[in-house]
Amino acid sequence: MPKAEKIVVKTVTKPSVESAPALTDWFFDTFGLAGKGDGPERKMFQLIVSNSLKGAGTSSKSISRSLKVPLSTVIYNLNKFIDCGLVVRKGREYFLRASDFESTIQELQAEMLAEFNRMMQFASKLDELIEDEIYGRGR
């Protein structure tokens, strides 16, 4: 059975400045990944995005060495990125889910729409079952 992804999306005010750091902060806040600031998770994510745009992956050890962050911290944050669907692991390397950030968001959108469509089917069935209980149908 495939591992379930947990995608948390919050409504966050758009940044007043459209710079890479401001938009990274906005996406992090929107996905509920971390608080604001220069924590290692943002730098980790930027490394993964930068390397992915070049067609290369990023290993947890290279992130740890590059940012001088304990490997356990790197692994913890990589798992958060994977759990929310932004990053995938291929072998020992981590990549942005798609070839670029826009495509990554498009893939997440498609998955979320498919999941909502599935939920709508279940909601319709639940309405029918509750209505049957209320009106004594099917007994």
pLDDT tens string 8-43:
677 888 889 888 888 888 888 888 886 556 678 888
| Residue 84 tokens, joined | 């929310």
* Residue 75, pLDDT above cutoff 70: yes
pLDDT tens string 37-61:
667 888 899 899 999 999 999 999 9
* Residue 132, pLDDT above cutoff 80: yes
* Residue 5, pLDDT above cutoff 70: no
The model's pTM is 0.78
Question: Tell me, what's the pLDDT at 138?
Answer: 54
DSSP string, 60-77: HHHHHHHHT--HHHHHHH
CATH of 20-98, one of 3.30.56.10, 1.20.120.420, 1.10.4080.10, 1.10.10.10: 1.10.10.10
Residue 77: what residue type? N
Residues 6+ apart with CB under 8 A from 118: none
- C-alpha 83/C-alpha 104 separation (Å) is 14
How is the chain split into domains, by residue range? Answer: 20-98
Residue whose C-alpha is closest to residue 58's, from 104, 85, 96: 96
For residue 33, the tally of other CB atoms under 10 A from its CB is: 20
